[in-house]
Amino acid sequence: MYFAALLARTEDGWEASDTELDDVETLSDLADLAREASPEEDTVLVLIEQEDAWFGVVRVDGEEDPRIYVSDAAAAARSAYGELLLTDELLGREPGADDGPDLDSLDLDGTEDGESDDAENDGDAVASDAVPHSPVGDSEILDDLGIGEKELRTLEADDALGTIAEALGASEVLETVR
């Protein structure tokens, strides 16, 4: 289960709307969805929470590139919605780095079909490319809205969205869509 909501800042405060991410395939789609929630190009926050395992915040300010924070990259990587947020840039990888091994550089010595003596070492190579079990992204994403980097990094996934909404003065509007 996941929960996703848009919080759009307006002249009258924050407006919340729940959103389905089923039709969102890319980060660009998500940013466009957020921009549609605020015709005045004000700040829009996309808040995503999945099974109390991780949460993410995407901030869209007008036509600027979206800013992203994910509380646990490894947990998010196991989710289709998390994969939307975990761009190569966010993870510090070269674009396309996760496309698998370069076939020209493989040492094909005939042992591919069976187990090699180095089977245990093969796991180490995969682990070095693994997504970290830690926060990734812009930890200062909510600084100007009253939630500093240190506070954001200490939020637990099970109550993070409520804590964020409370700090913004938007807890009532978020609860109406929850």
Report the distance separating Cα 147 and Cα 9, nearest Å: 16
CB burial of 15-36 (b: ≥16 within 10 Å; e: otherwise) equals bbeebebeebeebeebbebbbe
What tens digit of pLDDT does each residue of 78-134 get? 998 899 999 888 888 877 655 544 444 445 454 444 444 444 444 444 444 578 889
pLDDT for 129: 57
pLDDT for 96: 64
- Span of 57-71, 121-135, 145-159 with lowest mean pLDDT: 121-135
pTM: 0.80
